[in-house]
Amino acid sequence: MVKRKGKLNINLRFNLLTVLIYIVGIVLIIRLFTLQIVHGAEYREQSNTRLTRESSLEAARGSIVDRTGVELVTSKIEYSLEMYKTKVEDEDLNQAILNMIQTLEKYGCSYDDILPIKIEPFEFTISGESLSSWKEDNNFDENITAEQAFYKLKDRYEIQFENVQEARKVMVIRYKIVVNGYSSTKSVVISENIPAEAVAEFSESSDKYAGINIVVKPIREYTSGSLASHILGYASQITSEEYESRKDTYGMNDIIGKTGIEYVFEEYLKGKNGTKQIDMAVDGTTTAEYTAKEAVAGADIVLTIDANLQKITENALEANINKIASGGFGQRFDTKAGACVVMDVKTGEVLAMASYPNYNPADFVGGISTENWNNYTNNQAKPLVDKAIQNSYSPGSTFKMITAIAGLESGAINLNTRINDTGVYRKYRDYQPKCWYYSDYGAGHGWLNVSQAIERSCNYFFYETADRMGIDTLVRYARYFGLGNKTGIELPSETSGVVSSKESKQKLHPNESTWGPGDTLQSAIGQLDNEFSPLQMAKYISMLANGGHQIDVSIVKTIRKSDGTEASKQEINSFINQKLGINQEQQEDLNIKQENLDAVLAGMESVTQDSSGTAYVRFKDFNISVGGKTGSAEAPNNQVHAWFVGFAPFDNPEIAIVVMVENGGHGNYTAEVVRDIMQEYFGMNTQNVEEDMSAIPYVEIMN
């Protein structure tokens, strides 16, 4: 009996489960019947009249500002009109397109016209093989006329307008749609940079325009034209090669930094795009629009430069180059280019840095024209090259302070050492160089100490000093002051320069003999293989002025992220070292004696303050005491690069300024640039000191 009862219970449960499944099946059938039959038409109508599309919200690129907050590069908002495919008849689509064109024209907006047919009179705008290919692509007979092709397209697109001008306007957009292709998820851009008034009208009357969408796009804007162009760099549309390696974070139409700060800090400046959801009816009317993911703006890069000082520096450099080229100093030199750097001697911050000629970064926004590109690349003065950091030049006599410091610190000479310049250095039979003074006047400078040798730029004194200590000691001190090494500035393509040495000779002149005494003598006066960038020279002069202390050269003060925080200096340095592949060597501290520095600086003060100084005429009425040194360096093609290096105030130095003019002739000429910049920096009244060069002895301007 127990077994039978258990079997009965099992059967009962099975029957109940069967009934339950049967009931559920009936419910599902009824529900399906309700959906498909009772409400089917209603739901089909809703699905046919609703389209959800996702579009990108482009993040604003971060700004680049000067140390005071002045925006040098920013992103302005630009509106574009794009169009998606909608489920409307040709007649309604054509009317919507005409409405759209009329609104664009009302506000003076342009749109692409790639239709190769003109009307009134009818004619093709292309010819030859291009026209034949076009006819073939559009399935037209080879002998078809422009008028016949026009009306065939009019019929093909079912354009009913009798007015041929209106018909052509619609045809232009229909043809562009065919050429570019579009769908419910892929748009075609109709017009860019449309005004806010047009945006408002399109938005308020969207039912008149099938499938349109207004795109808000941040556009790069260089607010000060060509100011600081080599520092800022430029951003332009990503190339196919760049896109392939970055497609996980970039779109095919994104812009990307190409040079300067725009390139180096691309990862900070870019920001993160968001997404927007758009609901549309089949007739193209927008029914709802909302943000699915907010865009995050890029970080702002704060530079160390001062925009006003930068402008003064660029203007002064340009004016000086033009003055030299026109013979404004009494002798004409064919010069077209130069560079200038202003540096804080204590921190190494670059306050201004100019390279002439410059360029306009705005020319590259949206893609540079062929004409502009050719103008830049064919210009012999190479405006796209940053001559302040990417080129190196022989320093000439501006190097002599290195020789002096090395001689004093090594004990080759001391503060009481006096060397008799007899005009010709006759120690070696096979190489007997002359002092420049002997070449011009047939005599030497006579007995000089180190300060006097700097003031008078006596080659003989530095020949003897270098010969006593040897080239290796000279190289050691040159490198200590940053020469022959990258400064580590946060900009691309910085040159290392070259310190003239045994190693440089082996590398640059492998077929010549081993290092000889004459090589040391030439190196001591800034010639032979010595070549440095103006930025390296600015670091060197800053270290002379600050007591011989090492400084970290920088042009970026901080990075302000979109969340309000700032990047640490350690974060920035780590990023820069990795991005630019910089491996800064730790320099040994040579603990240069202050009395030796003082002797060298005294010579530099005499250059600008004593009547026999080579730059006295530029600073004789100056309100601030300046330490400086002129230099005229021989270069290939019989050119002479003109240098002036200086710092001020002499008793408590704040800034160092280095200016170099390619084939500028005499270093004395370039001192005028430094004077003008210092007047601005120290808040002095602008002075136009025009001197009669005929009154200046030739001896005073040669070195």
DSSP character string of 273-330: -EEEEEEE-TTS-EEEEEEEE--BPPPEEEESS-HHHHHHHHHHHHHHHHHHHTTTTS
Closest CA to 230 of 304, 314, 289: 314
Closest CA to 528 of 541, 539, 515, 547: 515
Q: How far apart are CA 238 and CA 251, in angstroms?
A: 8
Give the three-class secondary structure for 96. Answer: helix
Dihedral of the alpha carbons of 328, 330, 334, 339, in degrees to the nearest 10: -60
CATH code for the structural domain at 307-375+386-701: 3.40.710.10
Dihedral of the alpha carbons of 631, 636, 639, 642, in degrees to the nearest 10: -20
Q: State the pTM of this model.
A: 0.83
- The amino acid at 500: S
Q: Find the mean pLDDT for residues 73-84.
A: 91
- The amino acid at 37: I
CB 628 within 8 A of CB 615: yes
Give pLDDT, residue 21: 57
Give pLDDT, residue 695: 37
Tokens 């009244």 locate to 685
CB 345 within 8 A of CB 542: yes
Confidence band of 3 (pLDDT split at 50, 70, 90): very low
Give pLDDT, residue 203: 85
Give 653-696 pLDDT, tens digit per residue.
Answer: 999 999 999 999 999 999 999 999 999 999 974 444 344 433 33
**Packing angle of the helix pair 90-106, 196-204 (nearest 10 deg):** 150
Q: How far apart are CA 215 and CA 99, in angstroms?
A: 19
Q: Encoding tokens for residue 504?
A: 């440089």
Q: How far apart are CA 298 and CA 60, in angstroms?
A: 6
Q: Encoding tokens for residue 202?
A: 């399109």
Q: Find the mean pLDDT for residues 161-185.
A: 91
* Residue 1 reports pLDDT greater than 50: no
CB 269 within 8 A of CB 299: yes
Q: Encoding tokens for residue 369?
A: 């024209």
CB 614 within 8 A of CB 457: yes
Give pLDDT, residue 588: 79
CB 641 within 8 A of CB 393: yes
Give 244-297 pLDDT, tens digit per residue.
Answer: 999 888 888 789 999 999 999 999 999 888 877 767 666 556 666 666 688 898
Give the three-class secondary structure for 373. Answer: helix
Residues forming a β-bridge with 393: 532
CATH 3.90.1310.10 domain locations along the chain:
47-85+183-303
Identify which of 215-219, 241-245, 643-647 has the greatest average pLDDT.
643-647
- The amino acid at 327: G
Range 47-85+183-303: architecture per CATH: Alpha-Beta Complex (3.90)
CB 595 within 8 A of CB 531: no
Distance of CA 347 to the CA centre of its chain: 23
Residue 566, exposed/middle/buried by CB under 10 A (0-12, 13-18, 19+)?
middle
- The amino acid at 454: I
Distance of CA 388 to the CA centre of its chain: 14
Give pLDDT, residue 277: 74
Q: How far apart are CA 12 and CA 680, in angstroms?
A: 104
Q: Encoding tokens for residue 36?
A: 């498909």
Q: How far apart are CA 331 and CA 664, in angstroms?
A: 10
Give the three-class secondary structure for 508. Answer: helix
* Residue 449 reports pLDDT greater than 80: yes
* Residue 42 reports pLDDT greater than 60: no
With a CB cutoff of 8 Å and minimum separation 6, the contacts of 504 are 498, 529
CB 190 within 8 A of CB 111: yes
Identify which of 69-73, 193-197, 238-242, 686-690 has the greatest average pLDDT.
69-73
* Residue 19 reports pLDDT greater than 70: no
- Length reported for the chain: 703
Q: Encoding tokens for residue 167?
A: 């018909």
Give 408-448 pLDDT, tens digit per residue.
Answer: 999 999 999 999 999 999 999 999 999 999 999 999 999 99
Residues forming a β-bridge with 549: none
Phi-psi group of 592: left, alpha or beta (phi > 0 → left; psi -120 to 50 → alpha; rest → beta): beta
Residues forming a β-bridge with 631: 643
> Where do runs of H (alpha helix) occur along 385-483?
400-410, 436-441, 450-456, 459-469, 471-480
Q: How far apart are CA 607 and CA 661, in angstroms?
A: 19
Identify which of 49-53, 389-393, 691-695 has the greatest average pLDDT.
389-393
- The amino acid at 490: E
* Residue 548 reports pLDDT greater than 60: yes
Give pLDDT, residue 23: 61
Confidence band of 26 (pLDDT split at 50, 70, 90): low
DSSP conformational letter for 547: T
Give pLDDT, residue 249: 87
Confidence band of 39 (pLDDT split at 50, 70, 90): low
- The amino acid at 408: L
Give pLDDT, residue 36: 52
Residues forming a β-bridge with 64: 73, 301
**Packing angle of the helix pair 459-469, 471-480 (nearest 10 deg):** 100
What would the 3-class secondary structure string for 583-604 be? CCCCCCCCCCCHHHHHHHHHHH
Distance of CA 195 to the CA centre of its chain: 29
Q: How far apart are CA 701 and CA 703, in angstroms?
A: 6
DSSP character string of 220-242: EEETTTTTTHHHH--EEEPPHHH
Q: How far apart are CA 702 and CA 440, in angstroms?
A: 10
CB 75 within 8 A of CB 59: no
Give the three-class secondary structure for 286. Answer: strand
Residue 346, exposed/middle/buried by CB under 10 A (0-12, 13-18, 19+)?
middle
Average pLDDT of the chain to the nearest whole number:
89
Give 299-358 pLDDT, tens digit per residue.
Answer: 999 999 999 999 999 999 999 999 999 999 999 999 999 999 999 999 999 999 999 999
Give the three-class secondary structure for 341. Answer: strand
Give 176-206 pLDDT, tens digit per residue.
Answer: 999 988 887 788 999 999 999 999 999 888 7
CATH 3.40.710.10 domain locations along the chain:
307-375+386-701
Closest CA to 71 of 315, 301, 341: 301
* Residue 531 reports pLDDT greater than 70: yes
Cα–Cα distances in angstroms (integers) from residue 120 to residues 147, 163, 164, 167, 487, in the given order: 10, 12, 9, 13, 65
Q: How far apart are CA 363 and CA 370, in angstroms?
A: 11
Give pLDDT, residue 387: 98
